Structures are given as structure tokens and as C-alpha cells.
């Protein structure tokens, strides 16, 4: 213990030196302006790199070192959250990053396959203090004993599982199991599906996989960023500290309805409307709706012109439309093709009228005359209004709002269900907006032209400044009979561009921050939690975010609750990767004790007798209970007052319709769309509870839950579970003992 504490003291001293060095580098680099764009780029890269190191040092301080590997050949490595080296010429490692290949025996070695180890040590720390050691002897020929040997190899794991919850997910770097390690380190190319029932650790494994991929493929993924998609804000808050604690900050966490920049989903849909909007057929309906906006005149549009009327009839416009569609471009990008064809046709119409030879000869107008006529038509406001009517420029928001006001190309009953003329955007609208953006495209030619014109003005201005400053020198060189004037002119041109560049504000945002603001950003890897819940339209959006199809999908079809969820992995992935994906299943339940899992498993088993629940590795001896009451709100308040643990967290999981009343009766409880999960008590709906865990859970009125929601609610507890109800219990819970009976058994 003393030697490990001395090592820990040395380690934190070195961490302080590294933190000071990084902070000094940042403070010294920031004032540097540099005399060219390259110097400023190097400065910005240095600042970003050192700032990232500072963030990693700060986040990784807790539990900095948690293990030690002693090999039979004399090698001796400490294992920690981040790699730390001595400040010596050899840069000797003090602590090996848990993701390094040499650290794998910490997670994989067994007595049967020791991987060269003679012992594996787990270090338990409180802050910077070593509080306990646990040694596993892997080489039975090793006669050395320290007094910290333990016969139970799972003691460290079980201690972590029994610890009180804090309202935030913790990393598992100290307790990663072999099956989890294989998933974490799997190749990042292609799609990996990680399936597992409640409590199997699939979410935390996916997060550690993100940390590992950022370590193993730093250059690629740091530039493109990793996207982690979670089901709701409460879930993202719950997992938000895991990756920073592992030293990784280059990750964007978002819910599916946050993936269309500039739009916030504040509205709600009925379950039926959300399901319809999520169908793959909506993509075709939107495409057809756009084609409907590419209209024909009925019967003709007459445009006044000083040389007589111009006529846009159906045949002329049909030809222009056919020409534009043949370009194969999105609607807005094809619009110039339509406009040019219309302008050319009207120019030909006018040329024929005023230039026709009355004696039947060739047209009397020359090319310059025809060009002038074309320019006049091209700038005509009446012509532009006609083009806008026939092929309007559209935004995704405008298009989807028009579509929802009068849904086209859908069966009447579906159209009636989703029809909406007011209200905010809903989560189910976000994939529709993204689809519309793809179908419409963005014509940025004018913006690019304006930006280039602005840049040329800035260069010209900069050149003027240089001419005023160095004018006399320029004249001196121009009077000489050598080539130095050309050299100086070229030098001045470069300086002018560099001077103009210096006026542009550098983009200091991280890749994740830039990705959050860019709908077209292509991520290096995407992780999706509760993947079985996403609709077909949501998957179209996500696949656009990762064209290389490097993804980790996490979920459990048995927990599918959304009516629009795809459910099966085959139906999700077949349209995009066929059968080129890999599936693994986690079968060990680390969270839910046997007593609770036996009860929860009855819910899916009542519909599917062959259902196999994940195997729980823990037993608490505490049986779940149920109590019928006439005053539900009062019963919940009394139970919460009695059951709230001194340490840990309690959740009341109730039907959404009852959450407001229960929250009012529990004024100290956290509630709402993004509740503070670090509070001792929280009130949640069943969908909000997905992916979360609490020491104690009180499930309210289970008869009002759907089967999947009830299964989720019952499996959130790590220690104690109670059920309060006024209505008869579902058949699957009918045999739950009363509260008094359960206490007697305890």
C-alpha cells in the first residue's frame, strides 16, 4: 500500500507538470499573430492540441491509475485512463493507457490463459489516495504473497456494481469484461450491432468503444469527429461524463431531433402521426410533392414586353421542365437549367417576331442583337415571377410545412392523421426536413460568387496598403534593368493575399462543434443507442451523416416501444449495407439483481414463452413488492419519503399522464424533459427512463404501461423495486408479494 501510494504521488506530480506545461504553451501561443497564414495555422493547431490535452488531464484525474500488470518476464506496467510518460530522454511510460495493446491482459488474462502475467492488481482510490488493493495470482508457481491476494476474482466488479448510483453513468475501465473488451476493440470499418437485454452494459461498452476508436484512429476520427445518438436529453445528460473521464472530448452527443441545425423540435405528435411520418414511403411522397411544385401554366402565362407579348404555354414549359429534370440535380440546383431554357425559348420567340424577314429570308437580327434581347428578358421582373411560379425556389422548412398542411400522395386516412397547419416542429418532422433538404439541394453559387468578390476586394485593399507603404521601393526596383521588379511584384501579391487572410477570423471550433452546425457533415464513426426505436426515415438521416457506414448500433428489439421503430436489425440495415454487418450479443446482466429480473422477465414472456432474459450475476436477497392503494399520489409520496436511500438515487417511473401530479406531490424531485438526475429523487416517464439506472425504483400504475415500457421500467433498479397501483396488476405481475410480505421474507 505504501509503495503504491508513493507511486500515485509521483504520478500526480508528473500530471501537474504536464498540465502546467500545456497551459504555458497555450498562453504563450495565443498572442502570436505570425507573419503568414502558415504560421497562424501552426499556432491554431498547437493551441487546439494543447487545449485538448488540458481537457484530458483535467477529466482523467479521478481514478487516474487503477491497475498494474506484473509479467513473468519482469515487465511491470501500471494501467490508467490516459497514458503518462516521465520527463526523461527515453520518455519512459509511467502509466499505460487502458486502450493500448499492452494493457489487454488486464481485461483478458485468466488462470487458464495468463497471457504472460504472474499477477494482476486492481487499485482502488479515493481521489489521490490508494484505499485498497486486490491481487489476482495468475501464475501458481509465483510464491510471493503481499497479503492483498483475493480468492474472488470478481470482487472488484461486484463492489462496483453494488456501489450507490450518482445520477451519472461511470466508466468501467477498471472492470471491463472479456466479452466487452472484444466489442470495444472490434475493427471500426463497417456496421457492428451490439444487442443486449437490460443491464448488459451495451451502452457503456459503446461509449468505451468510441474512446478506443478515437485512440486507435486518432488522426482520422479527430478530424471527422464521432457522433453518438441517444434517445432523449435525460439519457445524454446521464452518459455525458463518461467520455471526458476517459480523456476524449472530440465527440458530438445528440438526440435524433437535434440533427437538423437551426431547427428545435418543440411540438408533439400523436403516436399514430409519428409512425406515419417515420415510414420509408414518406421519402417518395416528399419527392412527388416536389415534382408537383414544378408546374405547367394553365393554359398560358402572358408576359408584357415592349416589343409585344411573350407567351409561356404548356408545351414550352414542359420542354424546359424535361430539360431541367434530365440534369439529375435536386430541385433548387436544377432550377437554373429550367430558367435558362425558358429564357432561351422566350428569346427565340421574340427574335422570330421582330427579326423575321418579310420576304422569307433568314432572320435579320445578328448574334449581338439576339444576345441583347436575351439579356433584357433575363433581367425582366415579369419573367422572374413566371419562373418562380412554375419552378419555385424552396426551403426545407417551407416545403415540409406546405406538405403537412395538405399531405399529398398519401392515403386519405394517413393524410388526415398528419395534417397540420400550425404548431412547432416535432421530433418526427426532423427526418422529413432532412429528406427535403436532400431533395431540394442548396444553390450556393450566388453566395460563393459573393464571397469570392469580397475576397478580391480585400486583396485589392491589402495591395493598396502595401503600395502606399512600399511605393518608393517599388519605383526604385522598377527603374533597374533586371528582373527584381517581377520578383517584388510577385512578393507583393503574396503579401497582399496573406494580409487579406489575416483579416479573416480563424475557426477555432472543434470538429464536433463544426459538425453540430453543418447538416452535410460526414462523421468518421456513428454510435446509435436504442437503435431499435428509430424509424425508417430517421435511419435515412443517420446514414447520410456517415457515408462510409462506420457505425456501432446498440439496442434490444425486445425493448422496442416506438410504434415507428424498425425493430429488427435486418429491416434497419438491409437497405444500406445488405448483409454486410456483424452482430454480437451481450448475455450477462450486470445491473439488475436476480430477484428483480425474474419478475421483469415475466412481462415479455407472457407474449413470447420462449423469451430468454439476460443472466443476472448478482443477488441482493431483496424481493420486489406491490401495494394497492386508493390514493396513489399520497402513497407515492409516503413511499418515496421512506425508501429514498441515504446514498444513491430513487426514480418514480409513471405513465406520462400521471407525471405532473406526482411531481407536484414531490417538490424536491427532479422532473421535466431533461431532469437533473443527480438529485436524490426523479420522476420519469417510461421512455425517459430508457438506458438509465437507479438504486431504487417505484413503478406506478403498471396497467397503464405498454408491455415494452413496463419491461424497461421494471429493469431500471439495481437494488430495490416496488410497485404502487390502483388498477388490477397485469397478469405478469399478479404474483408479486405485498410490501409487508416482501419485508418479512427479507
Domains annotated on the chain, with CATH: 1-151 (no CATH), 183-260+519-588 (3.40.50.300), 276-440 (no CATH), 594-744 (3.40.50.300)
> 259-273, 330-344, 357-371, 390-404: which has the minimum mean pLDDT?
357-371
Residue 524 assigned to a binding site: no
| Residue closest to 600 by CA, chosen among 558, 628, 568, 636 | 558
Of 447, 436, 414, nearest in space to 293 by CA: 436
- Is 594 within any annotated ligand binding site? no
Question: Is 203 annotated to bind ligand?
Answer: yes
One DSSP character per residue, 204-256 reads HHHHHHHHHHHHHTHHHHHHH-EEEE-SSHHHHHHHTTHHHHTT---EEEE-G
- 715 annotated binding-site participant: no
pLDDT value at position 710? 96
Whether 706 has a binding-site annotation, put simply, is no
199 is in an annotated binding site: yes
pLDDT at residue number 604: 93
Q: Give pLDDT, residue 19.
A: 86
Is 552 labeled as ligand-binding? Answer: no
**pLDDT for position 462:** 61
Q: Encode burial over 37-50: b for 16+ CB neighbours within 10 A, e otherwise.
A: eeebeebbebbbeb
CA-based nearest residue to 221, from 99, 98, 105: 99
Q: Are 626 and 235 in contact (CB under 8 A)?
A: no
Residues 6+ apart with CB under 8 A from 222: 214, 250, 511
Per-residue model confidence as pLDDT tens digits over 668-693: 999 998 899 999 999 999 999 999 99
582-607 pLDDT, tens digit per residue, is: 999 999 999 999 999 999 999 999 99
Exposure on the CB side of residue 664, measured as CA atoms within 13 A = 6
pLDDT in tens, 102-111: 999 999 998 8
132, HSE (Cβ side, Cα atoms, 13 Å): 8
Range 151-158 contact pairs with CB under 8 angstroms and sequence separation of 24 or more: 154/617, 156/122, 156/124, 157/590, 158/617, 158/618
Question: Residue 286: is its pLDDT beyond 90?
Answer: yes
Distances (CA, A) of 164 to 191, 621, 694: 35, 17, 8
Q: Per-residue confidence at 449, pLDDT binned at 50, 70, 90? A: low
Flag whether 392 is marked binding: no
Amino acid at each position: 500500500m505504501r509503495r503504491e501510494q508513493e507511486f500515485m504521488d509521483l504520478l500526480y506530480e508528473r500530471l501537474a507538470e504536464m498540465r502546467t506545461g500545456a497551459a504555458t504553451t497555450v498562453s504563450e501561443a495565443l498572442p502570436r499573430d505570425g507573419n503568414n497564414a502558415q504560421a497562424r495555422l501552426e499556432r491554431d493547431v498547437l493551441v487546439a492540441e494543447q487545449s485538448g490535452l488540458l481537457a484530458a488531464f483535467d477529466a482523467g484525474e479521478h481514478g487516474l491509475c487503477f491497475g498494474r500488470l506484473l509479467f513473468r518476464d519482469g515487465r511491470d506496467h501500471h494501467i490508467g485512463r490516459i497514458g503518462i510518460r516521465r520527463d526523461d530522454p527515453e520518455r519512459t511510460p509511467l502509466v499505460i493507457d487502458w486502450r493500448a495493446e499492452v494493457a489487454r491482459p488486464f481485461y483478458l488474462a485468466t488462470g487458464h490463459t495468463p497471457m504472460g502475467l504472474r499477477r494482476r492488481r486492481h487499485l482502488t482510490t479515493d481521489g489521490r489516495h490508494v484505499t485498497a488493493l486486490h491481487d489476482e495470482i495468475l501464475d501458481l508457481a509465483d510464491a510471493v504473497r503481499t497479503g492483498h491476494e483475493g480468492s474472488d476474482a470478481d470482487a472488484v466488479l461486484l463492489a462496483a456494481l453494488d456501489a450507490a448510483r450518482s445520477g451519472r453513468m461511470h466508466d468501467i475501465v477498471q472492470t471491463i469484461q472479456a466479452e466487452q473488451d472484444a466489442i470495444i476493440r472490434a475493427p471500426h470499418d463497417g456496421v457492428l450491432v451490439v444487442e443486449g437485454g437490460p443491464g448488459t452494459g451495451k451502452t457503456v461498452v459503446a461509449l468505451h468503444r468510441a474512446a478506443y476508436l478515437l485512440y486507435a484512429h486518432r488522426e482520422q476520427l479527430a478530424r471527422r469527429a464521432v457522433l453518438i445518438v441517444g434517445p432523449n436529453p435525460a439519457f445524454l445528460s446521464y452518459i455525458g461524463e463518461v467520455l471526458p473521464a476517459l480523456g476524449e472530448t472530440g465527440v458530438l452527443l445528440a438526440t435524433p431531433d437535434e440533427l437538423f441545425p437551426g431547427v428545435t423540435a418543440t411540438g408533439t405528435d400523436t403516436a399514430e402521426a409519428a409512425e406515419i411520418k417515420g415510414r420509408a414511403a414518406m421519402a417518395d411522397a416528399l419527392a412527388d410533392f416536389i415534382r408537383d411544385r414544378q408546374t405547367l401554366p394553365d393554359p398560358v402565362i402572358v408576359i408584357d414586353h415592349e416589343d409585344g407579348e411573350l407567351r409561356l404555354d404548356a408545351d414550352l414549359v414542359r420542354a424546359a421542365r424535361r430539360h431541367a429534370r434530365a440534369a439529375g440535380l435536386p430541385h433548387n440546383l436544377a432550377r437554373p437549367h429550367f430558367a435558362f431554357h425558358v429564357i432561351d425559348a422566350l428569346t427565340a420567340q421574340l427574335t422570330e417576331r421582330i427579326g423575321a424577314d418579310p420576304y422569307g429570308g433568314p432572320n435579320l437580327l445578328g448574334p449581338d442583337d439576339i444576345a441583347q434581347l436575351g439579356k433584357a428578358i433575363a433581367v425582366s421582373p415579369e419573367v422572374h415571377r413566371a419562373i418562380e411560379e412554375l419552378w419555385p425556389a424552396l426551403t426545407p422548412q417551407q416545403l415540409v410545412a406546405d406538405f403537412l398542411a395538405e399531405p399529398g400522395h398519401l392515403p386519405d386516412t394517413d393524410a388526415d392523421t398528419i395534417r397540420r397547419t400550425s404548431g412547432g416542429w416535432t421530433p418526427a418532422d426532423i427526418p422529413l426536413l432532412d429528406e427535403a433538404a436532400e431533395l431540394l439541394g442548396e444553390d450556393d453559387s450566388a453566395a460563393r460568387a459573393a464571397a469570392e468578390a469580397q475576397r478580391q476586394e480585400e486583396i485589392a485593399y491589402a495591395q493598396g496598403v502595401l503600395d502606399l507603404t512600399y511605393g518608393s521601393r517599388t519605383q526604385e526596383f522598377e527603374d533597374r534593368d533586371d528582373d527584381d521588379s517581377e520578383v517584388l511584384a510577385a512578393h507583393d501579391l503574396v503579401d497582399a493575399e496573406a494580409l487579406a487572410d489575416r483579416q479573416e477570423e480563424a475557426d477555432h471550433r472543434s470538429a464536433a462543434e463544426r459538425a453540430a452546425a453543418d447538416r452535410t457533415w460526414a462523421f468518421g464513426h456513428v454510435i446509435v443507442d436504442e437503435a431499435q426505436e428509430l424509424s425508417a426515415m430517421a435511419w435515412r438521416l443517420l446514414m447520410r451523416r456517415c457515408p462510409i457506414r462506420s457505425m456501432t448500433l446498440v439496442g434490444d428489439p425486445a425493448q422496442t416501444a416506438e410504434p415507428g421503430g424498425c425493430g429488427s436489425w435486418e429491416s434497419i440495415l438491409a437497405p444500406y449495407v445488405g448483409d454486410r454487418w456483424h452482430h454480437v450479443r451481450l448475455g450477462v446482466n450486470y445491473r439488475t439483481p436476480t430477484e428483480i429480473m425474474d419478475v421483469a422477465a415475466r412481462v415479455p414472456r407472457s407474449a413470447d414463452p420462449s423469451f430468454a432474459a439476460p443472466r443476472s450475476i448478482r443477488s441482493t436477497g431483496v424481493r420486489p413488492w406491490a401495494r394497492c392503494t386508493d390514493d396513489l399520489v399520497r402513497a407515492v409520496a409516503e413511499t418515496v419519503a421512506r425508501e429514498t436511500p441515504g446514498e444513491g438515487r430513487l426514480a418514480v417511473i409513471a405513465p406520462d399522464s400521471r407525471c405532473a401530479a406526482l411531481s407536484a406531490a414531490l417538490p424536491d424531485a427532479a422532473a421535466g424533459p431533461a431532469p437533473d438526475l443527480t438529485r436524490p429523487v426523479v420522476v420519469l416517464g417510461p421512455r425517459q427512463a430508457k438506458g438509465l439506472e437507479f438504486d431504487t425504483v417505484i413503478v406506478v400504475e403498471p396497467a397503464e404501461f405498454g408491455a415494452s415500457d413496463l419491461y424497461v421500467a421494471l429493469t431500471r433498479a439495481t437494488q430495490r423495486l416496488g410497485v404502487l397501483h390502483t388498477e388490477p396488476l397485469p397478469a405478469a405481475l399478479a404474483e408479486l408479494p405485498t410490501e409487508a410480505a416482501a419485508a418479512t421474507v427479507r
